[in-house]
Amino acid sequence: MLRGYGVVRFTQASMAAIMLMTVSGCSLFQTRDPEPPDAGRGTYLQPDTPDRVVENIRFAISERNTRNYRRSLADELAFQPTATAESRDPIWGGWNAGAEESYFAGLVSSVAAEAGMSLELNDETLTAIDASRFVFDATYVLTANHNRPETPRNFQGRLAWELVQQQDGLWSLTSWTDREIGNEPSWSDLKAAFSS
């Protein structure tokens, strides 16, 4: 009989504690507003497919996120500029992932927080070369609302990105070819303007 009394007493004590929390305004079981995301982190999808690399680069550009932009590039990145940019600028011989990251950081620092950047891709094709290598081909319109009046803000061209699966199973951009369309400023021109 004492056992039963102990159970009743425990239950009454538990109920009293719950009622006390409720009366005291404790919102133990209420939902709360979500916390704002970490602005520095941005949108980054696990690059377990080639098309995720493309999405991550687009997000990194629109969010002006240098960290996620760099995460999308292979350490051994190779870049082939347009023919016009190659003949005009002597910077391309040593262009690598570090140079790419440096140009993008310079660009991002010149874009005001209320301004924007965007990458529009059209006529997209993703072609398998083999199981671990794909080529993404598209025309692009890149808009960068930077603060340099002497540099255009809109760039057009055609790009070819070679996307390779690394040893850890994740994909990254390893080779990039830029081609101009008519006399429009190209992505290569933008890289040259912000490379120093």
Residue 26: is its pLDDT beyond 70?
Answer: no
Q: What is the reported pLDDT for 112?
A: 83
Residue 150: is its pLDDT beyond 50?
Answer: yes
What span, in angstroms and rounded, lies between the C-alpha atoms of 106 and 113?
Answer: 14
Residue 28: is its pLDDT beyond 80?
Answer: no
Q: What is the reported pLDDT for 194?
A: 95
pTM: 0.78
120 near 141, Cβ under 8 Å?
yes
pLDDT range class, residue 39, cuts 50, 70, 90: very low
Three-state SS at 119: strand
Phi, psi of 103 (to 5 degrees): -60, -45
66 near 104, Cβ under 8 Å?
yes
Residue 29: is its pLDDT beyond 90?
Answer: no
Convert the pLDDT of each residue in 52-109 to its tens digit: 999 999 999 999 999 999 999 999 999 999 999 999 989 999 899 999 999 999 999 9
Convert the pLDDT of each residue in 120-133 to its tens digit: 999 999 999 999 99
What span, in angstroms and rounded, lies between the C-alpha atoms of 103 and 100?
Answer: 5
Alpha helices in the chain (DSSP H): 2-23, 50-62, 66-71, 83-88, 97-109, 187-193
Structure tokens at 159: 């790009």
